[in-house]
Chains A and B, each alone.
Chain A
Amino acid sequence: MIRVSGFEVRSQSGKSLLSSTDLDLPAQAVLGVYGPNGSGKSSLLRGISGEASPVVRSGEIVIDGVPLNLLSSPADRIKRVLYLGSDFRSAFDLTVRDLFELGIESASGRFWPGLNPGERDRMAGVVERLQMVSLLPRVFQTLSDGEKQMVMFARALIQAPKVLVLDETFSKLDLDRLISVTRIIRDWINCGMTFLISSHDLNFLSEISDQLVFLKEGRIIAGGPVDSVLNESNLRELFTKVAPHVVTSPESGKRKILY
Protein backbone atom coordinates (compact mmCIF):
# COMPACT_ATOMS: atom_id res chain seq x y z
CA MET A 1 0.00 0.00 0.00
CA ILE A 2 2.76 2.46 0.99
CA ARG A 3 6.26 1.79 -0.31
CA VAL A 4 9.10 4.14 0.58
CA SER A 5 12.44 3.47 -1.10
CA GLY A 6 15.68 5.36 -0.69
CA PHE A 7 13.81 8.37 0.67
CA GLU A 8 16.12 11.12 1.95
CA VAL A 9 15.50 14.63 3.26
CA ARG A 10 18.10 17.41 3.42
CA SER A 11 17.81 21.02 4.51
CA GLN A 12 18.52 23.65 1.86
CA SER A 13 21.98 24.12 3.37
CA GLY A 14 22.66 20.41 2.72
CA LYS A 15 22.31 19.09 6.30
CA SER A 16 20.85 15.58 6.38
CA LEU A 17 17.49 15.48 8.20
CA LEU A 18 16.57 11.92 7.23
CA SER A 19 19.02 9.32 5.87
CA SER A 20 18.04 6.92 3.11
CA THR A 21 14.87 5.22 4.37
CA ASP A 22 12.94 2.17 3.15
CA LEU A 23 9.50 1.20 4.43
CA ASP A 24 6.62 -1.04 3.43
CA LEU A 25 3.22 -0.76 5.01
CA PRO A 26 0.16 -2.79 4.00
CA ALA A 27 -3.26 -1.19 3.60
CA GLN A 28 -5.63 -0.95 6.57
CA ALA A 29 -2.83 -0.88 9.14
CA VAL A 30 -1.29 1.58 11.60
CA LEU A 31 2.39 2.49 11.48
CA GLY A 32 3.64 4.10 14.70
CA VAL A 33 6.65 6.39 14.38
CA TYR A 34 8.65 7.02 17.53
CA GLY A 35 11.89 8.78 18.38
CA PRO A 36 13.45 11.60 20.39
CA ASN A 37 12.97 15.26 19.48
CA GLY A 38 14.71 16.09 16.20
CA SER A 39 15.03 12.44 15.17
CA GLY A 40 13.40 13.02 11.76
CA LYS A 41 9.80 11.93 12.46
CA SER A 42 8.20 15.01 10.91
CA SER A 43 10.64 14.95 7.97
CA LEU A 44 9.56 11.36 7.24
CA LEU A 45 5.82 11.97 7.71
CA ARG A 46 5.73 15.26 5.80
CA GLY A 47 7.74 13.64 3.02
CA ILE A 48 5.38 10.68 2.73
CA SER A 49 2.39 13.02 2.56
CA GLY A 50 4.02 15.26 -0.08
CA GLU A 51 3.49 18.36 2.07
CA ALA A 52 5.20 21.47 0.71
CA SER A 53 8.19 22.40 2.86
CA PRO A 54 11.51 24.17 2.24
CA VAL A 55 13.63 20.99 2.17
CA VAL A 56 15.28 18.88 -0.53
CA ARG A 57 13.88 15.38 -0.95
CA SER A 58 14.99 12.40 -2.99
CA GLY A 59 13.89 8.78 -3.35
CA GLU A 60 10.53 7.28 -4.18
CA ILE A 61 7.23 7.07 -2.37
CA VAL A 62 4.44 4.98 -3.88
CA ILE A 63 0.96 5.10 -2.39
CA ASP A 64 -1.63 2.62 -3.59
CA GLY A 65 0.44 1.94 -6.71
CA VAL A 66 0.82 5.61 -7.67
CA PRO A 67 4.18 7.42 -7.25
CA LEU A 68 3.66 10.49 -5.08
CA ASN A 69 5.54 12.75 -7.51
CA LEU A 70 2.76 12.14 -10.06
CA LEU A 71 0.30 13.68 -7.61
CA SER A 72 1.64 17.21 -7.92
CA SER A 73 -1.75 18.86 -7.41
CA PRO A 74 -2.74 19.10 -3.73
CA ALA A 75 -6.37 18.47 -4.77
CA ASP A 76 -5.42 15.02 -6.17
CA ARG A 77 -2.98 14.29 -3.38
CA ILE A 78 -5.36 14.78 -0.44
CA LYS A 79 -7.67 12.11 -1.81
CA ARG A 80 -4.85 9.60 -1.23
CA VAL A 81 -2.85 11.03 1.63
CA LEU A 82 -3.60 13.78 4.15
CA TYR A 83 -1.17 15.22 6.71
CA LEU A 84 -2.13 16.77 10.05
CA GLY A 85 0.26 18.36 12.54
CA SER A 86 -0.46 19.22 16.16
CA ASP A 87 -0.81 22.98 16.42
CA PHE A 88 -3.99 24.48 14.99
CA ARG A 89 -4.88 28.17 14.97
CA SER A 90 -7.14 30.53 13.12
CA ALA A 91 -7.07 34.32 13.15
CA PHE A 92 -10.77 34.30 12.22
CA ASP A 93 -14.02 33.25 13.91
CA LEU A 94 -14.71 30.10 11.90
CA THR A 95 -17.10 27.57 13.45
CA VAL A 96 -16.52 23.83 13.70
CA ARG A 97 -19.39 23.34 11.22
CA ASP A 98 -17.61 25.65 8.71
CA LEU A 99 -14.44 23.60 9.12
CA PHE A 100 -16.20 20.27 8.51
CA GLU A 101 -18.02 21.67 5.46
CA LEU A 102 -14.76 23.03 4.11
CA GLY A 103 -13.22 19.57 4.59
CA ILE A 104 -15.94 17.86 2.55
CA GLU A 105 -15.85 20.51 -0.18
CA SER A 106 -12.05 20.13 -0.41
CA ALA A 107 -12.38 16.38 -0.86
CA SER A 108 -15.04 16.88 -3.56
CA GLY A 109 -12.71 19.17 -5.54
CA ARG A 110 -15.65 21.38 -6.57
CA PHE A 111 -15.14 25.08 -7.17
CA TRP A 112 -18.31 26.24 -5.50
CA PRO A 113 -18.98 25.96 -1.78
CA GLY A 114 -21.99 24.08 -0.42
CA LEU A 115 -22.79 20.42 0.27
CA ASN A 116 -25.16 18.13 -1.59
CA PRO A 117 -27.64 16.05 0.47
CA GLY A 118 -25.40 12.94 0.36
CA GLU A 119 -22.42 14.87 1.68
CA ARG A 120 -24.57 16.46 4.37
CA ASP A 121 -25.68 13.00 5.52
CA ARG A 122 -22.10 11.72 5.52
CA MET A 123 -20.96 14.66 7.63
CA ALA A 124 -23.86 14.23 10.07
CA GLY A 125 -23.05 10.51 10.38
CA VAL A 126 -19.38 11.09 11.22
CA VAL A 127 -20.17 13.94 13.62
CA GLU A 128 -22.67 11.80 15.48
CA ARG A 129 -20.32 8.81 15.58
CA LEU A 130 -17.57 10.99 17.06
CA GLN A 131 -20.05 12.64 19.49
CA MET A 132 -19.23 16.14 18.27
CA VAL A 133 -22.74 17.48 17.60
CA SER A 134 -22.51 19.96 20.49
CA LEU A 135 -19.24 21.36 19.09
CA LEU A 136 -20.68 22.21 15.65
CA PRO A 137 -21.75 25.82 16.41
CA ARG A 138 -18.63 26.58 18.51
CA VAL A 139 -15.99 28.97 17.16
CA PHE A 140 -12.87 26.88 16.50
CA GLN A 141 -10.51 29.41 18.05
CA THR A 142 -12.38 29.27 21.39
CA LEU A 143 -11.91 25.49 21.79
CA SER A 144 -9.30 24.02 24.14
CA ASP A 145 -6.11 22.67 22.53
CA GLY A 146 -7.34 19.09 23.03
CA GLU A 147 -10.73 19.89 21.48
CA LYS A 148 -9.01 21.55 18.53
CA GLN A 149 -6.94 18.40 17.93
CA MET A 150 -10.06 16.19 18.12
CA VAL A 151 -11.98 18.47 15.76
CA MET A 152 -9.13 18.53 13.23
CA PHE A 153 -8.87 14.74 13.46
CA ALA A 154 -12.62 14.49 12.81
CA ARG A 155 -12.33 16.84 9.85
CA ALA A 156 -9.58 14.63 8.38
CA LEU A 157 -11.80 11.55 8.79
CA ILE A 158 -14.65 13.40 7.08
CA GLN A 159 -12.34 14.15 4.14
CA ALA A 160 -11.77 10.37 3.95
CA PRO A 161 -8.26 10.07 2.45
CA LYS A 162 -6.85 6.57 1.87
CA VAL A 163 -3.89 7.32 4.14
CA LEU A 164 -4.07 9.66 7.13
CA VAL A 165 -0.77 10.95 8.52
CA LEU A 166 -1.03 12.22 12.09
CA ASP A 167 2.14 13.96 13.29
CA GLU A 168 1.76 14.32 17.08
CA THR A 169 -1.86 15.26 16.43
CA PHE A 170 -2.97 13.79 19.77
CA SER A 171 -0.32 15.47 21.96
CA LYS A 172 -2.85 17.50 23.99
CA LEU A 173 -5.59 14.89 24.49
CA ASP A 174 -6.72 13.70 27.92
CA LEU A 175 -6.81 9.98 28.71
CA ASP A 176 -10.54 9.64 27.93
CA ARG A 177 -10.11 11.15 24.49
CA LEU A 178 -6.93 9.20 23.80
CA ILE A 179 -8.76 5.94 24.49
CA SER A 180 -11.68 7.00 22.29
CA VAL A 181 -9.17 7.82 19.51
CA THR A 182 -7.86 4.24 19.57
CA ARG A 183 -11.42 2.93 19.08
CA ILE A 184 -12.15 5.43 16.32
CA ILE A 185 -8.96 4.53 14.46
CA ARG A 186 -9.81 0.82 14.64
CA ASP A 187 -13.29 1.58 13.24
CA TRP A 188 -11.87 3.57 10.34
CA ILE A 189 -9.27 0.92 9.55
CA ASN A 190 -12.16 -1.48 9.09
CA CYS A 191 -13.60 1.03 6.60
CA GLY A 192 -10.36 0.84 4.55
CA MET A 193 -8.19 3.66 5.89
CA THR A 194 -4.46 3.42 6.69
CA PHE A 195 -2.77 5.48 9.40
CA LEU A 196 0.76 6.75 10.07
CA ILE A 197 1.02 8.18 13.56
CA SER A 198 3.87 9.80 15.45
CA SER A 199 3.63 10.43 19.17
CA HIS A 200 5.83 10.81 22.23
CA ASP A 201 3.45 8.49 24.12
CA LEU A 202 4.97 5.09 23.41
CA ASN A 203 2.24 3.22 25.31
CA PHE A 204 -0.38 4.84 23.10
CA LEU A 205 1.59 3.89 19.98
CA SER A 206 2.01 0.33 21.22
CA GLU A 207 -1.73 0.07 21.85
CA ILE A 208 -2.73 1.32 18.45
CA SER A 209 0.04 0.31 16.02
CA ASP A 210 0.46 -2.80 13.90
CA GLN A 211 4.02 -1.85 13.05
CA LEU A 212 6.46 0.46 14.75
CA VAL A 213 9.61 2.28 13.66
CA PHE A 214 12.17 3.84 15.97
CA LEU A 215 14.04 6.83 14.55
CA LYS A 216 17.22 8.36 15.89
CA GLU A 217 19.32 11.14 14.34
CA GLY A 218 17.52 10.86 11.01
CA ARG A 219 17.71 7.09 10.50
CA ILE A 220 15.56 4.09 11.36
CA ILE A 221 17.24 2.01 14.07
CA ALA A 222 14.44 -0.57 14.33
CA GLY A 223 11.26 -1.35 12.41
CA GLY A 224 8.64 -4.10 12.19
CA PRO A 225 5.79 -5.57 14.25
CA VAL A 226 5.40 -3.83 17.62
CA ASP A 227 6.49 -6.86 19.69
CA SER A 228 9.75 -7.19 17.80
CA VAL A 229 10.64 -3.48 18.00
CA LEU A 230 9.48 -2.48 21.47
CA ASN A 231 12.16 -3.96 23.70
CA GLU A 232 14.62 -2.63 26.26
CA SER A 233 17.65 -2.97 24.02
CA ASN A 234 16.13 -0.74 21.29
CA LEU A 235 14.96 1.77 23.89
CA ARG A 236 18.46 1.97 25.37
CA GLU A 237 19.75 2.75 21.90
CA LEU A 238 17.20 5.55 21.59
CA PHE A 239 17.68 7.11 25.01
CA THR A 240 21.07 6.78 26.66
CA LYS A 241 20.13 8.47 29.95
CA VAL A 242 17.02 6.45 30.85
CA ALA A 243 16.43 2.73 31.26
CA PRO A 244 12.70 2.01 30.79
CA HIS A 245 11.31 -1.44 31.53
CA VAL A 246 9.11 -3.20 29.02
CA VAL A 247 6.17 -5.18 30.40
CA THR A 248 3.19 -6.92 28.82
CA SER A 249 -0.25 -5.55 29.66
CA PRO A 250 -2.34 -8.34 31.20
CA GLU A 251 -5.52 -6.82 29.68
CA SER A 252 -4.56 -6.13 26.07
CA GLY A 253 -1.48 -8.35 25.80
CA LYS A 254 0.37 -5.37 24.30
CA ARG A 255 3.83 -4.27 25.34
CA LYS A 256 4.05 -1.20 27.56
CA ILE A 257 6.91 0.72 29.09
CA LEU A 258 7.46 1.65 32.74
CA TYR A 259 10.01 4.26 33.79
Chain B
Amino acid sequence: MRNEIRKKYLIAAGVLAFAILMSLFLGLDFKNASLLIGELRFPRLLLGVAVGAALSLAGLVLQTVLSNPLAEPYTLGIASGAALGAAIGVSLKASAVIFGMNPGAIAGAALSIGLLLRVGGGGSGQESMILLGVMLSLVSASMLAIWMSLADPLGVQSINFWLLGDLSRVTTGPAAFLLVVVLLVGAAFLMFSRHLDAFLFGGEMVESFGVSLPRTRKITILLVSLLVGLSVSLAGMIGFVGLIVPHLVRRWLGLQRHFHLIPFSLIWGAAILVISDSLARAIGSPHELPVGAVTSLVGAPVFILLFLRGRRGQFS
Protein backbone atom coordinates (compact mmCIF):
# COMPACT_ATOMS: atom_id res chain seq x y z
CA MET B 1 0.00 0.00 0.00
CA ARG B 2 2.76 2.44 0.99
CA ASN B 3 4.70 1.63 -2.18
CA GLU B 4 1.59 2.22 -4.25
CA ILE B 5 1.01 5.61 -2.63
CA ARG B 6 4.68 6.52 -3.17
CA LYS B 7 4.34 5.58 -6.84
CA LYS B 8 1.24 7.76 -7.13
CA TYR B 9 3.05 10.69 -5.52
CA LEU B 10 5.73 10.31 -8.22
CA ILE B 11 3.12 10.19 -11.00
CA ALA B 12 1.34 13.29 -9.63
CA ALA B 13 4.67 15.14 -9.33
CA GLY B 14 5.46 14.11 -12.93
CA VAL B 15 2.14 15.53 -14.18
CA LEU B 16 2.78 18.77 -12.29
CA ALA B 17 6.28 19.01 -13.80
CA PHE B 18 4.76 18.47 -17.27
CA ALA B 19 2.17 21.21 -16.55
CA ILE B 20 4.95 23.60 -15.46
CA LEU B 21 6.99 22.99 -18.61
CA MET B 22 3.88 23.38 -20.75
CA SER B 23 3.02 26.67 -19.07
CA LEU B 24 6.52 28.06 -19.47
CA PHE B 25 7.38 26.89 -22.98
CA LEU B 26 4.19 26.15 -25.00
CA GLY B 27 4.15 28.55 -27.98
CA LEU B 28 7.06 30.56 -26.55
CA ASP B 29 8.86 33.07 -28.77
CA PHE B 30 12.43 32.03 -27.93
CA LYS B 31 13.90 35.34 -29.10
CA ASN B 32 12.50 37.09 -26.04
CA ALA B 33 12.37 33.98 -23.89
CA SER B 34 13.91 35.32 -20.68
CA LEU B 35 11.80 38.47 -20.70
CA LEU B 36 8.57 36.61 -21.50
CA ILE B 37 9.19 33.92 -18.90
CA GLY B 38 10.39 36.26 -16.16
CA GLU B 39 7.77 38.97 -16.61
CA LEU B 40 4.72 37.11 -17.85
CA ARG B 41 4.83 33.35 -17.77
CA PHE B 42 6.48 32.70 -14.41
CA PRO B 43 4.08 34.87 -12.34
CA ARG B 44 1.17 33.36 -14.28
CA LEU B 45 2.45 29.83 -13.61
CA LEU B 46 2.93 30.60 -9.93
CA LEU B 47 -0.62 31.98 -9.68
CA GLY B 48 -2.02 28.94 -11.55
CA VAL B 49 -0.28 26.58 -9.13
CA ALA B 50 -1.48 28.54 -6.07
CA VAL B 51 -5.10 29.06 -7.22
CA GLY B 52 -5.50 25.49 -8.53
CA ALA B 53 -4.19 24.06 -5.26
CA ALA B 54 -6.32 26.49 -3.19
CA LEU B 55 -9.59 25.76 -5.00
CA SER B 56 -9.05 21.99 -4.93
CA LEU B 57 -8.27 22.02 -1.23
CA ALA B 58 -11.30 24.24 -0.55
CA GLY B 59 -13.52 21.89 -2.60
CA LEU B 60 -12.22 18.79 -0.82
CA VAL B 61 -12.79 20.24 2.62
CA LEU B 62 -16.22 21.69 1.78
CA GLN B 63 -17.41 18.37 0.35
CA THR B 64 -16.37 16.62 3.56
CA VAL B 65 -17.56 19.14 6.14
CA LEU B 66 -20.91 19.71 4.40
CA SER B 67 -21.28 15.94 3.62
CA ASN B 68 -22.02 16.97 0.07
CA PRO B 69 -19.98 15.55 -2.83
CA LEU B 70 -21.32 18.27 -5.13
CA ALA B 71 -19.98 21.09 -2.98
CA GLU B 72 -17.19 23.41 -4.16
CA PRO B 73 -16.56 27.16 -3.90
CA TYR B 74 -18.11 27.87 -7.32
CA THR B 75 -21.31 25.79 -7.10
CA LEU B 76 -22.02 26.99 -3.56
CA GLY B 77 -21.77 30.67 -4.49
CA ILE B 78 -18.77 31.23 -2.20
CA ALA B 79 -16.53 32.33 -5.09
CA SER B 80 -19.12 34.83 -6.37
CA GLY B 81 -19.56 36.16 -2.82
CA ALA B 82 -15.78 36.66 -2.71
CA ALA B 83 -15.80 38.34 -6.13
CA LEU B 84 -18.54 40.74 -5.01
CA GLY B 85 -16.64 41.50 -1.80
CA ALA B 86 -13.40 42.08 -3.72
CA ALA B 87 -15.06 44.34 -6.29
CA ILE B 88 -16.69 46.43 -3.58
CA GLY B 89 -13.39 46.61 -1.67
CA VAL B 90 -11.46 47.72 -4.78
CA SER B 91 -14.03 50.33 -5.80
CA LEU B 92 -14.30 51.85 -2.33
CA LYS B 93 -10.51 51.78 -1.90
CA ALA B 94 -11.45 51.30 1.74
CA SER B 95 -9.78 48.00 2.29
CA ALA B 96 -6.15 47.40 3.10
CA VAL B 97 -4.84 45.73 -0.02
CA ILE B 98 -1.93 43.41 0.76
CA PHE B 99 0.09 42.18 -2.20
CA GLY B 100 -2.85 42.99 -4.50
CA MET B 101 -5.14 40.82 -2.42
CA ASN B 102 -8.30 42.09 -0.92
CA PRO B 103 -9.77 41.45 2.54
CA GLY B 104 -13.19 42.31 1.04
CA ALA B 105 -12.98 39.03 -0.89
CA ILE B 106 -12.28 37.03 2.29
CA ALA B 107 -15.22 38.72 4.02
CA GLY B 108 -17.45 38.04 0.99
CA ALA B 109 -16.49 34.36 0.99
CA ALA B 110 -17.01 34.03 4.76
CA LEU B 111 -20.42 35.74 4.56
CA SER B 112 -21.50 33.39 1.77
CA ILE B 113 -20.49 30.26 3.72
CA GLY B 114 -22.11 31.62 6.87
CA LEU B 115 -25.36 32.30 4.99
CA LEU B 116 -25.24 28.87 3.37
CA LEU B 117 -24.84 27.12 6.73
CA ARG B 118 -27.42 29.33 8.43
CA VAL B 119 -30.12 28.83 5.80
CA GLY B 120 -29.24 25.46 4.33
CA GLY B 121 -27.13 23.74 6.96
CA GLY B 122 -29.87 22.53 9.26
CA GLY B 123 -30.18 19.05 7.86
CA SER B 124 -31.35 20.05 4.38
CA GLY B 125 -30.50 17.64 1.60
CA GLN B 126 -27.55 17.76 -0.76
CA GLU B 127 -29.61 18.95 -3.71
CA SER B 128 -31.30 21.78 -1.84
CA MET B 129 -27.93 23.02 -0.55
CA ILE B 130 -26.61 23.15 -4.13
CA LEU B 131 -29.78 24.92 -5.30
CA LEU B 132 -29.31 27.45 -2.54
CA GLY B 133 -25.67 27.87 -3.60
CA VAL B 134 -26.65 28.42 -7.23
CA MET B 135 -29.17 31.07 -6.16
CA LEU B 136 -26.56 32.71 -3.95
CA SER B 137 -24.14 32.66 -6.86
CA LEU B 138 -26.67 34.28 -9.23
CA VAL B 139 -27.58 36.99 -6.73
CA SER B 140 -23.90 37.79 -6.03
CA ALA B 141 -23.05 37.82 -9.76
CA SER B 142 -25.98 40.16 -10.48
CA MET B 143 -25.01 42.46 -7.63
CA LEU B 144 -21.42 42.38 -8.90
CA ALA B 145 -22.57 43.41 -12.39
CA ILE B 146 -24.71 46.23 -10.99
CA TRP B 147 -21.92 47.42 -8.69
CA MET B 148 -19.30 47.38 -11.44
CA SER B 149 -21.58 49.21 -13.86
CA LEU B 150 -22.34 51.95 -11.34
CA ALA B 151 -19.13 52.29 -9.36
CA ASP B 152 -16.41 51.74 -11.94
CA PRO B 153 -16.33 53.53 -15.32
CA LEU B 154 -14.59 50.51 -16.87
CA GLY B 155 -16.66 48.16 -14.77
CA VAL B 156 -18.45 46.33 -17.54
CA GLN B 157 -15.12 45.16 -19.04
CA SER B 158 -13.84 44.11 -15.60
CA ILE B 159 -16.86 41.88 -15.04
CA ASN B 160 -15.32 39.27 -17.35
CA PHE B 161 -12.26 39.09 -15.11
CA TRP B 162 -14.36 38.38 -12.03
CA LEU B 163 -16.82 35.96 -13.66
CA LEU B 164 -14.55 33.92 -15.93
CA GLY B 165 -11.18 34.20 -14.25
CA ASP B 166 -7.82 35.36 -15.54
CA LEU B 167 -4.33 34.35 -14.39
CA SER B 168 -2.47 36.99 -16.42
CA ARG B 169 -3.02 40.08 -14.25
CA VAL B 170 -0.53 39.31 -11.52
CA THR B 171 3.13 39.86 -10.64
CA THR B 172 5.44 37.38 -8.92
CA GLY B 173 5.07 38.85 -5.39
CA PRO B 174 1.32 38.35 -4.84
CA ALA B 175 1.37 34.95 -6.58
CA ALA B 176 4.22 33.72 -4.36
CA PHE B 177 2.46 35.10 -1.27
CA LEU B 178 -0.72 33.23 -2.17
CA LEU B 179 1.24 30.02 -2.72
CA VAL B 180 2.81 30.32 0.75
CA VAL B 181 -0.66 30.88 2.29
CA VAL B 182 -2.07 27.86 0.45
CA LEU B 183 0.80 25.65 1.64
CA LEU B 184 0.34 26.83 5.23
CA VAL B 185 -3.42 26.24 5.12
CA GLY B 186 -2.76 22.82 3.54
CA ALA B 187 -0.38 21.99 6.40
CA ALA B 188 -3.03 23.12 8.94
CA PHE B 189 -5.68 20.90 7.36
CA LEU B 190 -3.18 18.02 7.24
CA MET B 191 -2.68 18.38 10.99
CA PHE B 192 -6.46 18.22 11.43
CA SER B 193 -6.92 15.46 8.85
CA ARG B 194 -8.37 13.04 11.42
CA HIS B 195 -10.89 15.71 12.42
CA LEU B 196 -11.98 16.00 8.78
CA ASP B 197 -12.26 12.19 8.57
CA ALA B 198 -14.80 12.36 11.42
CA PHE B 199 -17.15 14.25 9.07
CA LEU B 200 -17.29 11.37 6.58
CA PHE B 201 -20.37 9.97 8.35
CA GLY B 202 -22.22 13.29 8.45
CA GLY B 203 -22.45 16.02 11.07
CA GLU B 204 -24.43 13.93 13.60
CA MET B 205 -21.60 11.42 14.07
CA VAL B 206 -18.73 13.90 14.36
CA GLU B 207 -18.70 14.19 18.16
CA SER B 208 -18.74 10.42 18.61
CA PHE B 209 -15.27 10.47 17.02
CA GLY B 210 -14.12 12.92 19.69
CA VAL B 211 -14.21 15.95 17.40
CA SER B 212 -15.97 19.21 18.21
CA LEU B 213 -18.46 19.96 15.45
CA PRO B 214 -18.84 23.74 15.99
CA ARG B 215 -15.12 24.36 16.49
CA THR B 216 -14.05 22.36 13.43
CA ARG B 217 -16.74 24.03 11.31
CA LYS B 218 -15.58 27.50 12.43
CA ILE B 219 -11.92 26.74 11.66
CA THR B 220 -12.91 25.30 8.27
CA ILE B 221 -15.03 28.34 7.36
CA LEU B 222 -12.17 30.65 8.29
CA LEU B 223 -9.53 28.75 6.30
CA VAL B 224 -11.73 28.09 3.26
CA SER B 225 -12.73 31.78 3.20
CA LEU B 226 -9.05 32.70 3.25
CA LEU B 227 -8.27 30.32 0.36
CA VAL B 228 -11.23 31.31 -1.80
CA GLY B 229 -11.10 35.02 -0.96
CA LEU B 230 -7.41 35.39 -1.80
CA SER B 231 -7.69 33.24 -4.94
CA VAL B 232 -10.67 35.15 -6.31
CA SER B 233 -9.14 38.55 -5.56
CA LEU B 234 -6.07 37.63 -7.65
CA ALA B 235 -7.58 35.43 -10.38
CA GLY B 236 -11.35 36.00 -10.46
CA MET B 237 -13.80 33.10 -10.38
CA ILE B 238 -12.57 29.83 -11.84
CA GLY B 239 -15.25 27.20 -11.67
CA PHE B 240 -15.29 23.45 -11.13
CA VAL B 241 -11.58 22.88 -10.29
CA GLY B 242 -12.71 22.42 -6.68
CA LEU B 243 -15.29 19.87 -7.79
CA ILE B 244 -13.35 17.78 -10.27
CA VAL B 245 -10.02 17.44 -8.48
CA PRO B 246 -11.22 15.95 -5.14
CA HIS B 247 -13.36 13.39 -7.01
CA LEU B 248 -10.48 12.54 -9.34
CA VAL B 249 -8.13 12.10 -6.39
CA ARG B 250 -10.58 9.98 -4.33
CA ARG B 251 -11.23 7.72 -7.31
CA TRP B 252 -7.58 7.42 -8.34
CA LEU B 253 -6.29 6.69 -4.85
CA GLY B 254 -9.27 4.54 -3.83
CA LEU B 255 -8.98 6.20 -0.40
CA GLN B 256 -11.22 8.49 1.62
CA ARG B 257 -8.92 9.46 4.52
CA HIS B 258 -7.73 13.05 4.32
CA PHE B 259 -4.11 12.46 5.25
CA HIS B 260 -3.42 11.52 1.62
CA LEU B 261 -6.34 13.31 -0.06
CA ILE B 262 -5.02 16.73 1.01
CA PRO B 263 -1.52 16.61 -0.57
CA PHE B 264 -2.80 14.86 -3.71
CA SER B 265 -5.58 17.47 -4.12
CA LEU B 266 -3.01 20.25 -3.82
CA ILE B 267 -0.74 18.71 -6.49
CA TRP B 268 -3.48 17.70 -8.94
CA GLY B 269 -5.35 20.99 -8.49
CA ALA B 270 -2.20 22.93 -9.34
CA ALA B 271 -1.44 20.72 -12.37
CA ILE B 272 -4.97 20.78 -13.79
CA LEU B 273 -5.39 24.55 -13.56
CA VAL B 274 -1.94 25.22 -15.06
CA ILE B 275 -2.70 22.84 -17.96
CA SER B 276 -6.15 24.42 -18.47
CA ASP B 277 -4.57 27.88 -18.54
CA SER B 278 -1.93 26.81 -21.07
CA LEU B 279 -4.68 25.32 -23.27
CA ALA B 280 -6.82 28.48 -22.91
CA ARG B 281 -3.81 30.48 -24.13
CA ALA B 282 -2.86 28.11 -26.96
CA ILE B 283 -6.22 27.04 -28.43
CA GLY B 284 -7.36 30.43 -29.74
CA SER B 285 -3.88 31.96 -30.23
CA PRO B 286 -3.20 34.87 -30.76
CA HIS B 287 -6.37 35.50 -28.72
CA GLU B 288 -6.78 34.09 -25.25
CA LEU B 289 -9.79 32.19 -23.96
CA PRO B 290 -10.86 32.87 -20.38
CA VAL B 291 -9.46 30.03 -18.24
CA GLY B 292 -12.73 29.81 -16.28
CA ALA B 293 -14.58 29.04 -19.52
CA VAL B 294 -12.22 26.11 -20.20
CA THR B 295 -12.58 24.64 -16.70
CA SER B 296 -16.38 25.10 -16.82
CA LEU B 297 -16.59 23.34 -20.19
CA VAL B 298 -14.98 20.27 -18.64
CA GLY B 299 -16.40 20.71 -15.15
CA ALA B 300 -20.11 21.20 -15.90
CA PRO B 301 -20.56 17.75 -17.53
CA VAL B 302 -18.67 16.16 -14.63
CA PHE B 303 -21.02 17.95 -12.22
CA ILE B 304 -24.07 16.58 -14.09
CA LEU B 305 -22.58 13.07 -14.09
CA LEU B 306 -21.91 13.25 -10.34
CA PHE B 307 -25.38 14.65 -9.73
CA LEU B 308 -27.00 11.73 -11.57
CA ARG B 309 -24.77 9.17 -9.82
CA GLY B 310 -25.61 10.82 -6.48
CA ARG B 311 -29.33 10.40 -7.19
CA ARG B 312 -28.65 6.69 -7.59
CA GLY B 313 -26.64 6.76 -4.35
CA GLN B 314 -23.27 6.08 -5.98
CA PHE B 315 -21.02 9.00 -5.18
CA SER B 316 -17.24 8.80 -5.74
A residues near B (Cβ < 8 Å) are 51-52, 73-75, 77-78, 82-85, 88-94, 98-99, 102-103, 105-107, 109-113, 141, 156
Tell whether A93 pairs with B211 under 8 Å between CB atoms, given A88-B205, A106-B198, A113-B194: no
B198 touches A92 (CB 8 A): no
In the A-B complex, the 4 residue pairs with the closest CB atoms = A75-B210, A106-B209, A106-B210, A74-B207
- Cβ distance A162 to chain B, nearest Cβ, rounded Å: 14
Given contacts A74-B211, A94-B256, A102-B209, 8 further A-B contacts (CB under 8 A): A89-B201, A89-B202, A90-B200, A90-B202, A92-B250, A98-B256, A103-B209, A111-B194
Find chain B residues with CB under 8 A from A93 CB: 250, 256, 315-316
Find chain A residues with CB under 8 A from B211 CB: 74-75, 106
A110-B195 Cα distance, complex, nearest whole Å: 10
A111 touches B191 (CB 8 A): yes
Tell whether A106 pairs with B194 under 8 Å between CB atoms, given A75-B211, A89-B202: yes
Number of interface residues of B (CB under 8 A): 32
A113 touches B259 (CB 8 A): yes
B208 touches A83 (CB 8 A): yes
Tell whether A52 pairs with B202 under 8 Å between CB atoms, given A106-B209, A113-B257: no
A91 touches B256 (CB 8 A): no
Residue of A whose beta carbon sits closest to that of B205 = A88
Most A-side CB within 10 Å, residue of B69, B191, B257 = B257
Tell whether A92 pairs with B257 under 8 Å between CB atoms, given A78-B208, A82-B208, A141-B313: no
B194 touches A102 (CB 8 A): yes
**B29 CB within 8 Å of chain A:** no
B126 touches A107 (CB 8 A): no
B window 175-220: CB within 8 A of A: 191-194, 197-198, 200-202, 204-214
Residue of A whose beta carbon sits closest to that of B260 = A113
- Cβ distance A50 to chain B, nearest Cβ, rounded Å: 8
B210 touches A107 (CB 8 A): yes
**B158 CB within 8 Å of chain A:** no
B residues near A (Cβ < 8 Å) are 64, 67-69, 126, 191-194, 197-198, 200-202, 204-214, 250, 256-257, 259, 313, 315-316
Residue of A whose beta carbon sits closest to that of B258 = A113
B315 touches A91 (CB 8 A): yes
B207 touches A102 (CB 8 A): no
Find chain B residues with CB under 8 A from A52 CB: 207, 213-214
A91 touches B202 (CB 8 A): yes
Supply 10 A–B pairs (Cβ within 8 Å), ascending by A. A78-B207, A90-B201, A92-B250, A92-B256, A93-B256, A98-B257, A102-B209, A102-B257, A109-B210, A156-B208
A162-B99 Cα distance, complex, nearest whole Å: 53
- Cβ distance A89 to chain B, nearest Cβ, rounded Å: 6
A110-B210 Cα distance, complex, nearest whole Å: 11
Find chain B residues with CB under 8 A from A105 CB: 194
- Cβ distance A152 to chain B, nearest Cβ, rounded Å: 9
A91 touches B250 (CB 8 A): no
Find chain B residues with CB under 8 A from A73 CB: 212
- Cβ distance A66 to chain B, nearest Cβ, rounded Å: 16
Find chain B residues with CB under 8 A from A141 CB: 313
- Cβ distance B53 to chain A, nearest Cβ, rounded Å: 21
Find chain B residues with CB under 8 A from A98 CB: 256-257
A78-B205 Cα distance, complex, nearest whole Å: 12
